[in-house]
């Protein structure tokens, strides 16, 4: 597919010699100019899933051009497959193909595929190249950028993993045209997150353009993706391994991961759980006196406009939440560390929430 070059934008994740580009534009999946410069050698393994393969695998193969040794691995779909067993299938396929240290893995799909392929690349022969080709809004604005890779454990989300940066992130915005609307909403949760934690102006822009975003209007989607990726690139460049500011990207995630873990992976979409978790974080911030009622009402309204759930699962008690939240990776020295909002557009890491304040939020928060 051809495309005018001015429809493409490129951002950069600045990490010294491991810096990489994020190319964003319509139709770049099928164009060899974007993928081939980032291959480490001739051996390429494209990993995708059974939903994405029929939609985009042949277009991606076109984008690889000729003269390469290309293998494909199509995994089952779903968050429940984000396991070490699936990663082993990737390693098995690489070994069976006789792939060496100069091979490149290409992750074609949403965040589940991207996280697993990145982790497989981090460990295969102590680390090989990989390229992210994210095809969901959530993976385009968040998971494909920044090098967090890994799998779930039955006791907790993303508990096994590594930091391993891709060689490039290729975001073909046209792939969003086939995305189910529930998945689009889940991605919008992470987009809204950037506004809430770091950019009040962007939050206002999202409020004004939510209908266009939900209607898959290309210009609005591209702008939302660019702003989200640019904020994420800035944060990752500042704090690659989450010693400080990167933790703010976890707004809503401590509550959200508890929902996903309790409900069984896949029943709630990750973005849905994060959306509800962000409302819980906003309400807790209000209880601490940082946000006022109007701020929380705005947060609830934008999540509602994105068609995200505003209530926690009916069968989750405060004790259920607390038991899982205690295992969160951000916690240190037995202290629960939560990302809260000091105002709309500004967040902080807080480890002094009075336990009774948290418990009363967990008791009062609506269930459905």
- Write out the catalytic residue numbers: 126, 148, 190, 232, 242, 246, 250, 253, 257, 270
Nearer to ligand NAD, 23 or 148 (CB): 148
Sign of CA dihedral 160, 267, 303, 7: positive
Report how far residue 278's alpha carbon sits from residue 194's, in angstroms, rounded to the nearest whole number. 11
Shortest Å, Cβ 271 to ligand NAD: 6
**N- to C-terminal Cα separation, the chain:** 45
Shortest Å, Cβ 289 to ligand NAD: 30
Of 6-14, 83-91, 109-117, 316-324: span binding ligand NAD (CB under 6 A)? 109-117
Report how far residue 338's alpha carbon sits from residue 336's, in angstroms, rounded to the nearest whole number. 6
Q: Are 210 and 308 in contact (CB under 8 A)?
A: no
272 in contact with ligand NAD (CB under 6 A): no
Nearer to ligand NAD, 258 or 296 (CB): 258
At a CB cut-off of 8 Å and minimum separation 6, what does 262 contact?
A: 313, 316, 320, 321, 324
HSE (side-chain half, CA atoms, 13 Å) at 163: 10
Among 13, 138, 306, 341, interactor with ligand NAD by CB under 6 A = 138
At a CB cut-off of 8 Å and minimum separation 6, what does 138 contact?
A: 110, 111, 183, 186, 187, 189, 190, 270, 271
3-state secondary structure of 335: strand
Report how far residue 171's alpha carbon sits from residue 118's, in angstroms, rounded to the nearest whole number. 16
3-state secondary structure of 127: coil
What mask of x and - would describe binding to ligand GLY in positions 91 to 130, judged by CB under 6 A? ----------------------------------------
271 in contact with ligand NAD (CB under 6 A): yes
Residue 44 touches which of ligand GLY, ligand NAD, none (Cβ within 5-8 Å per kind): none
Applying CB under 6 A, the site for ligand NAD has a residue count of 30
What mask of x and - would describe binding to ligand NAD in positions 281 to 320, judged by CB under 6 A? ----------------------------------------
142 in contact with ligand GLY (CB under 6 A): yes
Q: What is the DSSP letter of 250?
A: G
Nearer to ligand GLY, 246 or 300 (CB): 246
Site for ligand NAD in 63-82 (CB under 6 A): 77, 79, 82
* Stretch (H or E) spanning 340: strand 338-343
257 in contact with ligand GLY (CB under 6 A): no
329 in contact with ligand GLY (CB under 6 A): no
Residue 31 touches which of ligand GLY, ligand NAD, none (Cβ within 5-8 Å per kind): none
Of 55-63, 142-150, 173-181, 313-321: span binding ligand GLY (CB under 6 A)? 142-150
Report how far residue 165's alpha carbon sits from residue 19's, in angstroms, rounded to the nearest whole number. 9
Instruction: Outline where the chain has alpha helix (H).
Output: 32-35, 58-64, 84-96, 111-123, 137-138, 181-198, 200-214, 218-238, 253-263, 270-287, 293-305, 318-325, 355-364
Among 39, 179, 189, 291, interactor with ligand NAD by CB under 6 A = 179
Beta bridge partners of 106: 46, 131
Shortest Å, Cβ 233 to ligand GLY: 11
What are the residues binding ligand GLY (CB under 6 A)?
142, 146, 148, 246, 249-250
What are the residues binding ligand NAD (CB under 6 A)?
49, 51-52, 55, 77, 79, 82, 109-113, 115, 135-136, 138-139, 142-143, 146, 148, 157-158, 175, 178-179, 183, 186, 270-271
């Amino acid at each position: 597919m051809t495309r005018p070059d001015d429809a493409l934008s490129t951002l950069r994740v600045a990490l010294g010699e491991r810096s990489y580009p994020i190319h964003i534009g319509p139709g770049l999946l099928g164009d060899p100019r974007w993928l081939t410069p980032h291959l480490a050698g001739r051996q390429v393994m494209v990993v995708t899933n059974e939903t994405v393969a029929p939609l985009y695998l042949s277009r991606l193969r076109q984008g690889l051009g000729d003269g390469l040794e290309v293998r494909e691995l199509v995994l089952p779909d779903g968050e429940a497959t984000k396991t070490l067993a699936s990663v082993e299938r990737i390693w098995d396929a690489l070994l069976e193909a006789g792939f060496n240290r100069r091979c490149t893995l290409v992750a074609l799909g949403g965040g589940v595929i991207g996280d697993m392929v990145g982790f497989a690349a981090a460990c295969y022969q102590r680390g090989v190249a990989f390229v992210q080709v994210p095809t969901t809004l959530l993976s385009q604005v968040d998971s494909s950028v920044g090098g967090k890779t890994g799998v779930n454990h039955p006791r907790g989300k993303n508990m096994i993993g590594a930091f391993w940066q891709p060689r490039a992130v290729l975001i073909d915005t046209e792939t969003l045209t086939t995305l189910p609307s529930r998945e689009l909403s889940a991605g919008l949760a992470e987009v809204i997150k950037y506004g809430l934690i770091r950019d009040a102006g962007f939050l206002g822009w999202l409020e004004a353009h939510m209908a266009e975003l939900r209607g898959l209007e290309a210009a609005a989607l591209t702008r939302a993706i660019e702003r989200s990726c640019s904020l994420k690139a800035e944060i990752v460049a500042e704090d690659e391994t989450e010693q400080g500011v990167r933790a703010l990207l976890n707004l809503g995630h401590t509550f959200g991961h508890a929902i996903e873990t309790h409900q069984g992976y896949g029943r709630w979409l990750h973005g849905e759980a994060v959306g509800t978790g962000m409302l819980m974080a906003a309400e807790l911030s209000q209880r601490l006196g940082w946000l006022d009622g109007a701020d929380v009402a705005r947060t609830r309204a934008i999540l509602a406009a994105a068609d995200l759930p505003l209530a926690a699962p009916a069968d989750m008690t405060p004790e259920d939440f607390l038991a899982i939240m205690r295992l969160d990776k951000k916690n240190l020295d037995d202290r629960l560390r939560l990302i809260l909002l000091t105002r709309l557009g500004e967040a902080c890491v807080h480890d002094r929430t009075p336990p009774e304040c948290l418990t009363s939020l967990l008791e009062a928060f609506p269930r459905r």
